[in-house]
Structures are given as C-alpha cells and as structure tokens.
Structure 1
Amino acid sequence: MYWAGYIYRYWHYYTNESSREIYKIADARTMNECWLGFHTLDVEMAIDNLKEIYRQKNEK
C-alpha cells in the first residue's frame, strides 16, 4: 500500500487534481490490480497509464 499512497500524493502535486477526482479515476481496487505492472514505472508514467485505463473503461 505504500506505493499506492505515494502515487496518490504525487498525482495531486503533478496534476493539481483533488483526492476525490484521483480516487474516482484510480480506486484502491484499480491500484491493487495495477501494482505488479506499474510499481517499477516512473511515477508520472504510472499516473498517465492509470488515467488512460480510466479513459478506456469509460469510452462510449
């Protein structure tokens, strides 16, 4: 969970999005599912990938 907490805080500083907006995009389940593949990525790349996953899930 350390990684997820770090990503959430960095995400806020990187994008200036609120915690509520961030958690809507990447909730705890998503973070847990992505950890294995994302924990070795650059933090900004991980955030961008999480946002892209959200976009793809919500396309109509």
Structure 2
Amino acid sequence: MTINCNGKLISLERPKIMGILNVTPDSFFDGGKYKDEASVLNQVDKMLIEGATFI
C-alpha cells in the first residue's frame, strides 16, 4: 500500500513516524514556542533528522 504525498509515493508497508508541530499560541503542548519562521523550520529539520517521514 502507498500514499501519495505531494506527488511522491510513500510506501506504507512499514510503520512511519509523523512529527506534530503546533504553531498556535494556545497550543496544548508547547504553548506557541515556535513563533517565527526560523524556529518553525529549525524544529521541522530536527524532526526530519530524528526520523519523521511526515510533518
């Protein structure tokens, strides 16, 4: 089984990791820690390095 993710087919034969990034100030977890573009992109990079397939 595959999923089309923005034109790229990703196999779902093995489990995948999804990173969740909350960017709203009333976030239940991080309280809006990522307020500017640079901090958001840095966190996305970190999640991808740590193994996330999807953000």
Larger helix proportion, structure 1 or 2? 1
Which structure has more strand as a fraction of its residues? 2
Scaled by the length of structure 1, the TM-score of the pair is: 0.32
CA radius of gyration, larger in? 2
- The answer to which structure, 1 or 2, has the higher relative contact order (CA under 8 A, 6+ apart) is 1
